[in-house]
């Protein structure tokens, strides 16, 4: 039954994004040039993502205790909503090349936050310690990818991006950067 959790995720992440803007799918899949210290993080990110998806495919949703089930369902749904919002905003064409609209006014990385919240909901729904461990590895490695993306954005967009970076947190307040 866990595999059913992934259907809405992939529909939002790929189908909604592609329906809104076909070029945005390729743009979202683009990884910036990586430094030597970031290359291992990239591979850890890819492997942990694969592990997360595989685990969710084979795990079962547990409904007891009900409080944990509903908390997991809340995080799962909030992750999907936040992912949909970030995908819609990301797909909107912008003249300057980087997104500052919608949820990008509150976080420079709303899709990564949405992934984390969504997968955390999956962890709670399945009660899997393995999935929790993979999520921790995923999140740590994603941080290194984000640092590379921010360096690339600073190089590409210059002072305009640097001003945006000073005004909008990397994740969400109080987790700034």
Average pLDDT over residues 169-173: 84
Token digits of residue 155: 């190089």
Q: Residue 8 in contact with residue 118, Cβ under 8 Å? A: no
Please check the confidence at residue 174 and state whether its pLDDT lies above 70.
no
Q: How many CB atoms lie within 10 A of CB 124?
A: 22
**Long-range contacts of residues 168-175, Cβ cutoff 8 Å, at least 24 apart:** 168/100, 168/104, 168/105, 168/106, 168/107, 168/108, 169/106, 169/107, 169/108, 170/107, 170/108, 170/109, 170/146, 171/107, 171/109, 171/112, 171/113, 172/106, 172/107, 172/113
**pLDDT higher than threshold 70 for residue 3:** yes
Residue 121 tokens read as: 């909901």
Whether pLDDT at 21 is above 90: no
* Predicted confidence (pLDDT) at residue 101 exceeds the cutoff of 70: yes
Q: Are 76 and 118 in contact (CB under 8 A)?
A: yes
Which residues sit opposite 172 in a β-bridge? 175
Task: Please state the pTM of the whole predicted model.
Answer: 0.91
Chain-centre distance for alpha carbon 146: 10
Render pLDDT for 22-65 as a digit per residue (tens, 0 to 9). Answer: 787 777 777 888 887 788 999 999 999 999 999 999 999 999 99
């Amino acid at each position: 039954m866990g595999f059913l959790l992934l259907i809405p995720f992939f529909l939002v992440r790929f189908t909604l994004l592609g329906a809104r803007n076909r070029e945005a799918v390729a743009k979202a899949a683009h990884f910036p040039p990586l430094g030597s210290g970031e290359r291992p993080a990239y591979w850890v990110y890819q492997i942990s993502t694969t592990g997360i998806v595989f685990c969710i495919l084979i795990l079962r949703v547990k409904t007891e205790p009900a409080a944990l089930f509903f908390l997991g369902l809340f995080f799962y749904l909030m992750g999907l909503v936040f992912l949909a919002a970030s995908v819609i905003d990301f797909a909107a064409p912008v003249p300057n090349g980087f997104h500052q609209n919608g949820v990008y006014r509150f976080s420079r990385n709303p899709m990564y936050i949405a992934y984390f919240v969504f997968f955390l909901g999956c962890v709670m729904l399945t009660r899997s310690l393995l999935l929790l461990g993979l999520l921790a590895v995923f999140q740590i490695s994603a941080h290194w990818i984000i640092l590379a993306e921010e360096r690339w954005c600073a190089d590409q967009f210059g002072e305009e991006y640097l001003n945006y970076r000073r005004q909008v947190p990397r994740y969400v307040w109080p987790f700034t950067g």
